[in-house]
Structure 1
Amino acid sequence: MVRVFKTIEGAIHEIQEPQEDCWIAMTNPTATEIFEISERFGIEVDDLRAPLDEEERSRIEVEDNYTLILVDVPIIEERNEKDWYGTIPLGIIVTRKMIITVCLEDTQVLTRFMEGRVRNFFTYMKTRFILQILYRNATMYLHYLRIIDKKSEQVEEKLHMSTRNQELLELLELEKSLVYFTTSLRSNEVVLEKLLKVESIKQYPEDTDLLEDVIIENKQAIEMANIYSGILSSMMGTFASVISNNLNVVMKVLSVITIVMSIPTIVFSAYGMNLSPAGMPFSADKWGFLVVIVLSVLVSIVAAVILSKKKFF
């Protein structure tokens, strides 16, 4: 899908045809759309296809008539019927007259720009637009990292009394998301450092503070991802032992219950044998059946009390 946006009278509007100082947003474009954009604006097809490869690395490439900036952006993806987090490439192609973004999916990094909810955003201010995208990207990483931290706390509460592997698997998915984030953020950091030296993208004095904010936000996201990753790694090892211990406690309680319940079983089994009634205690007494049951229960209670004092329960 290809959509075209342009700032008109200070507000963002979607237009039908590309114009000078516009923004072309390509989301999972078809081969036909890629070739049309390539021929119309003189952009290599491989550069337009690069952001559609999930394994593509972040980088900056400077060509004769345009500059390609590739960064990784965070997304929400479904795994095991639950929402987790991953990253996909976002391509920003800067030409002399416009900006083109290419992404495999709709991303919240760009959605706010399309909806006109970003302050001081103008499609004709290309350098600031790039920095605003990168800043928005870094803040999205921070936002998702905070959500991951909250999810890990919720899973931790469940793990205290858990004997299942489900909670550990959830922690594993969270740790996997953090690995994706850490790798992508480090790659983005290299792009930001190189962006300072790219002469094809003009550096305006008024955008210097914004670029510094982008770098600071990205570094903060890297630090947060490293901290949360370390916490999750240690947590997984600890709670693997907790789950094993909880299972041992359950097995111990079941074993004790089995021992206590086996006492009446032994007595009733003995009385159920085909032997002469004369040799069975209380067999001639009319209350014998009740007496045997009461004695069996009392012995079971005594055994339970003894085992309880020894802290087997």
Structure 2
Amino acid sequence: MMTYYRTDDQVIHEEEKLSDGVWVQMINPTHDECEEIAEKLMVDIDDVKAALDVEESSRIELQDGYTLILVDIPAIEIRHDQRTYTTIPLGIILTQDIIVTICTEDTPVLQNFVRSRVKEFSTKKKLRFVYQILYRTAAIYQANLRIIDKRRTEIEERVGSDTDDSDLINLHELESTLVYFATSLRANGVVLDRLTRYKRLEQYPEDKELLDDVIVENRQAIEMTTIYRDIINGTRELMSSLLDNRLNNVMKYLTSITIVMAIPTVISGIYGMNVNENWMPFANTPHGFLIICIITLLICVITMLFLRKKKML
């Protein structure tokens, strides 16, 4: 899908055709749409399609007549029947008069601009628009990181009560997401460093201040990712230790029961041997069977008390 937008007096509206000061939003475009915009703007079609490849890395390339900026933005995906986060490429093509954004999804990063939720937004001020996109990207990264930490807290609250293997799997998913975030944020940081030296388009003083804010927000998101990943790693190790401890307790309990149950088994086995009854205690004693059972019970009770004293039962 390809849509043209333009702002007049900070009010955004759709345009029917391509003209100066227009923002071209391409959401999962077809090959024909990519060819059309590449032909009209005289850009390489491979650069237009670059953001459609999920394996593309963040970078900035200066070409003849235009600039390609690729950054990773957060996105939502369903993994193991659960809502998780990942990152996808967002392509930005800057020409002298037009800005083009290409993405495989209708991302919230750009929805804020379409819905007029960003102050001082103008499609004519292309570099400021780019910085605003990057600022919204860093803000959404931070919002998603807070949600991830909240999920980690919910899992941590169950530690010691009803913790199970699914919690370990969920923690692993969160940790994997943080790895994706950390990789993407660092790559975006490299792009931001290059933008500080970008001289092709005119920049206003407030644009440079906005770029500084974007760099600060991106670094903060990187620090949050590092901190949350370390916390999740510690929580996962704690849960693994607790699960191992539970298993050890169960094995210790079963071993103690086995020891106690072995006592009557051994005694009954001895009395079941085919030997002369003269050599078997209580063989000819009245109520001998009852006496043997009482003695066996006493031995079992003494053994249980001993095991309990040793905290094995």
Give the TM-score band, short-chain normalised: 0.7 to 0.9
Q: Does 1:82 align with 2:82?
A: yes
Counterpart of 1:197 in structure 2: which amino acid?
R
Per-residue displacement from partner, 1:231-255 (whole Å, max 9, x unpaired)?
3334434443332222111221233
**Conserved? CA contact 2:96–2:201, under 8 Å:** no
Q: Distance in 2 between matches of 1:272 and 1:143?
A: 74
Q: Distance in 2 between matches of 1:15 and 1:292?
A: 100
1:295–1:213 CA distance, 2 compared to 1 (3 A): same
Per-residue displacement from partner, 1:260-287 (whole Å, max 9, x unpaired)?
45667778999999xxxxx999xx98xx
Task: Identify the residue that residue 276 of structure 1 maps to in structure 2.
Answer: none
Aligned pairs (5 A) from 1:1-313: 1-160=1-160, 164-260=164-260, 303-313=303-313
Return 5+ residue gaps in structure 2 as ranges.
274-279
Counterpart of 1:242 in structure 2: which amino acid?
L
Q: Distance in 1 between matches of 2:256 and 2:37?
A: 74
Q: Distance in 2 between matches of 1:185 and 1:194?
A: 14
**Conserved? CA contact 1:69–1:91, under 8 Å:** yes
Out of 26-35 and 162-171, give the one that drifted further: 162-171
Counterpart of 1:116 in structure 2: which amino acid?
S
Q: Distance in 2 between matches of 1:27 and 1:4?
A: 12
Q: Distance in 2 between matches of 1:165 and 1:204?
A: 54
Per-residue displacement from partner, 1:1-53 (whole Å, max 9, x unpaired)?
21222224432223333332121111111111111111122121000111111
Counterpart of 1:221 in structure 2: which amino acid?
A
Q: Distance in 1 between matches of 2:309 and 2:35?
A: 80
**Conserved? CA contact 1:4–1:14, under 8 Å:** yes
Counterpart of 2:31 in structure 1: which amino acid?
A
**Conserved? CA contact 1:159–1:167, under 8 Å:** no
**Conserved? CA contact 1:162–1:243, under 8 Å:** no
**Conserved? CA contact 1:35–1:45, under 8 Å:** yes
**Conserved? CA contact 2:148–2:174, under 8 Å:** yes
Counterpart of 2:158 in structure 1: which amino acid?
K
**Conserved? CA contact 1:72–1:185, under 8 Å:** yes
What displacement does 1:93 show? 0.9
Return 5+ residue gaps in structure 1 as ranges.
274-278
Q: Distance in 2 between matches of 1:6 and 1:302?
A: 88
Out of 214-223 and 80-89, give the one that drifted further: 80-89
**Conserved? CA contact 1:159–1:239, under 8 Å:** yes
1:42–1:297 CA distance, 2 compared to 1 (3 A): farther
What displacement does 1:308 show? 2.2
**Conserved? CA contact 1:25–1:101, under 8 Å:** yes
Per-residue displacement from partner, 1:125-174 (whole Å, max 9, x unpaired)?
21211111000011111111122222222223334356744322222222
**Conserved? CA contact 2:175–2:229, under 8 Å:** yes
Out of 255-264 and 223-232, give the one that drifted further: 255-264
**Conserved? CA contact 1:163–1:244, under 8 Å:** no
What displacement does 1:296 show? 7.5
TM-score w.r.t. structure 1 length?
A: 0.84
Q: Distance in 2 between matches of 1:13 and 1:264?
A: 88
Counterpart of 1:4 in structure 2: which amino acid?
Y
Task: Name the Cα RMSD after superposition.
Answer: 3.2
Q: Distance in 2 between matches of 1:235 and 1:109?
A: 31
